[in-house]
Amino acid sequence: MKRALAFVSLIATVLLGASARAADADFAKFIASLWPDAQAAGVSRATFDRETAGLEADYKLPDLILPGRPATGAPRQAEFVQVPADYIREAAIARLAEQGQRLMQQYRPALNEIETRFGVPGPVVLAIWGRETDFGRYTLPYDGLRVLATQAYVGRRKDQYRNEFILGLKMLGDGVVARKDFRASWGGAVGLTQFLPSEYSKHGVDLDGDGKVDLWHSVPDALGSAAKQLVDKGWQSGLRWAYEVKAPANVDCTMGVPEVTRPIGDWLHAGFVPVWGQKIGAAEQAQEASLLQPEGIQGPAFLTTKNYFVIKEYNFSDLYVLFVGHLADRMTNPLPFATPWSATTQLRTADVEAMQRELTRLGLYKDKLDGKAGMLTRAAVGAFQKKAGLKLDCWPSGAVLQAMRAAR
């Protein structure tokens, strides 16, 4: 019996090894097929051969499409699987804000130039640096080129990452960064302020004037490049990112979508009250804003301006923007959120995706089935609650999902 089991184990090992070798061979063929595009982009043959020699796919990255395999097991982005109270922790905000105040003094000349040249407040770019890499203390865990190659091969956005991989090769070939420093997140973003290679080529700024754009070792370059990326995405000088408000008791949370905008003054007249007695001037009240309630009717509420959505272009998550915006505010004002985050529970990604599928079937949701409980998903949940006669709170809970399934 033991011999039989050992033989079966040996055969399984041989088959798995053969499967792995076949996968590696297919990956190597895929990488080789990219040479013509790399050559057209200005990558030398020497660079291509040197950087791709021995390159292997990393099948443990999250969000990969692997035929015949279960979903990859690495964790998804914290922005989409954590509730606000866990993601925007007061202890983390306070620590980063205190350090940010010191960095404002240390990098005052660079921040003054950024504010003059781009119209982006210094605390905002500092907050991005703090969120992305903990002001440089966080070491990005992955080989950037390997991540880009894997995403180009079996990622969900293959065409985009083919280009990112080639641009990454060009950066290495041009001496922009050494391979040992080309560390990345699982999504392939690199540097102190987390840029994809295409973003480096579009928005990189040599703020320190040394003749090169260095996002890895030059804080002025990294901050200046972050500011230029915001400006290129539509940042408006002199406009706040958002205002925290107290919502009226009868608020219709289904209005909390980007498409529903009103002048801030109209929101105030409808009963939304700025927190901490904040005064909003006439010019600010004329600005268009939309309602954001990240936890439905629980937790804080915000009136978000166009600049809120510009930061969201940097990272497409409401929690990310709230973290960055609030951290920037805390560098100059010690006040926390006036309304505490509630003790909500986040559904598993698969359950949120199932909910999106049900909402789509009911004609209440027309966006991506991505398992992320963003603005449009929360508003669609509210629309279902109205239709089903449930309590209106616009929060994707297990009870709501169960009610959707029961309504089939």
> Is the CB of residue 319 less than 8 Å from the CB of residue 360?
no
Write down all domains in the chain, each with its CATH number in brackets.
18-56+141-190 (no CATH), 82-140+204-232 (no CATH), 242-304 (no CATH), 349-406 (1.10.101.10)
> Is the CB of residue 361 less than 8 Å from the CB of residue 404?
no
Residue-wise pLDDT for 110-128, tens only, equals 999 999 999 999 999 999 9
183-184 and 142-143 as β-strands: parallel, antiparallel, unpaired?
Answer: antiparallel
Q: What is the pLDDT of residue 78?
A: 54
- d(CA 286, CA 265) in angstroms, rounded, equals 6
- d(CA 380, CA 181) in angstroms, rounded, equals 44
Q: How confident is the model at residue 18 (pLDDT cuts 50, 70, 90)?
A: very low
| pTM listed for this prediction | 0.90
**DSSP designation for 254:** G
Share of the chain above pLDDT 90, in %: 83
The stretch 10-16 carries a mean pLDDT of 44
Residue-wise pLDDT for 125-164, tens only, equals 999 999 999 999 999 999 999 999 999 999 999 999 999 9
Closest CA to 124 of 332, 395, 362: 332
- d(CA 240, CA 120) in angstroms, rounded, equals 10
Residue-wise pLDDT for 159-204, tens only, equals 999 999 999 999 999 999 999 999 999 999 999 999 999 999 999 9
Strands (E), 249-380: 261-263, 273-274, 288-292, 294-297, 301-304
Q: What is the pLDDT of residue 8?
A: 44
Q: What is the pLDDT of residue 6?
A: 52
